Amino acid sequence: MGELADRMRQDLVLRNYSPRTVPQYLGCARKFAAFHRRSPAEMGETEVRAYLQHLLEDGRIPNSVRVTVAALKFLYRKTLGRPEVVARIPWPREPRRLPEIPSHDELRRLLAAPCPTTRALLMLGYGAGLRISEACALRTGDIDRARGVLLVRGGKGAKDRVTLLPAELLAALAEHWRATRPAGDRVFPGSRPETSMSANVAQRRLKGALAAAGVTRPFTYHSLRHAFATHLLEDGTNVVVIQSLLGHTSLETTQRYLRVRVDLLEKVRSPLTALLTK
């Protein structure tokens, strides 16, 4: 794509898209151009539809195709100034799957990881509801001991928010700091003090902790965030409060955790039980 890719990159940066989104969108645009072997500037709605149909028929999951749709909508609306090309391009419908919620026993074993750094990282997911990128990017100035809260800067959608800082999480962060003594203000520095730990490194730490804890069910860092929201609901926390803690724009996104509340099911008696115990 050459010059067009440079312009798209600049447009993404000027609109303050995240460092992860910029290369992701550029990659989608390049694959679109490579598929048709033409510059996007020379193509229109017909080529966009044909490419998206190819991705879906090739077995790509809807969420992956949604990223491509977002990238191409940005390309034509912002960089090329041709919004009519993508005005009628639909968003692929995503299946409404229930989030995987780890049990309390699995969480206790996982959060008992012997490495202070790994333990602190995992506690940020379950104790404060952070995404993996937010945990890795945490800085010392984001920890407000006086008010007992964490400041999440530049979360998804470039939004700041405040979330919980339980005493147990604060103690784990302090233990990590004593064990590693990071030089800069990054709580989890990367290869250089001025950079943060990458999400890939954090995922490898999680994988090691899962193996040590004997947790075999499908599990990602986001499972900790799912458990944070679900267990708060089960403890009676208002769903609007949870929406704020998670940084969700839509309340509908938060309300999906209502579908996995086990405590409500425990109060309901199956008609089979009622029938056979009469």
Flag whether pLDDT at 268 surpasses 60: no
Q: What is the mean pLDDT of residues 114-139?
A: 94
The residue type at 4: L
Q: What is the mean pLDDT of residues 2-27?
A: 92
Q: Is the pTM of this model over 0.75?
A: no
CB 86 within 8 A of CB 48: yes
Segment of 50-59, 87-96, 229-238, 264-273 carrying the highest mean pLDDT: 50-59
pLDDT of residue 263: 61
Lowest average pLDDT, out of 48-52, 134-138, 140-144, 190-194, goes to 190-194
Q: What is the mean pLDDT of residues 100-121?
A: 92
pLDDT of residue 207: 95
Q: Give the pLDDT confidence of 203-253 residue by residue, as tens digits.
A: 999 999 999 999 988 889 999 998 888 888 888 888 888 888 888 877 777
All domains of the chain in start order, with CATH: 3-85 (1.10.150.130), 104-264 (1.10.443.10)
Cα–Cα distance list, 36 to 41, 48, 49, 129 (Å): 12, 10, 12, 42
Place of tokens 């600049």: 10
**Which residues are the active-site residues?**
131, 156, 222, 225, 248, 257
When computed from its CA atoms, the radius of gyration of the chain, rounded to whole angstroms, is 22
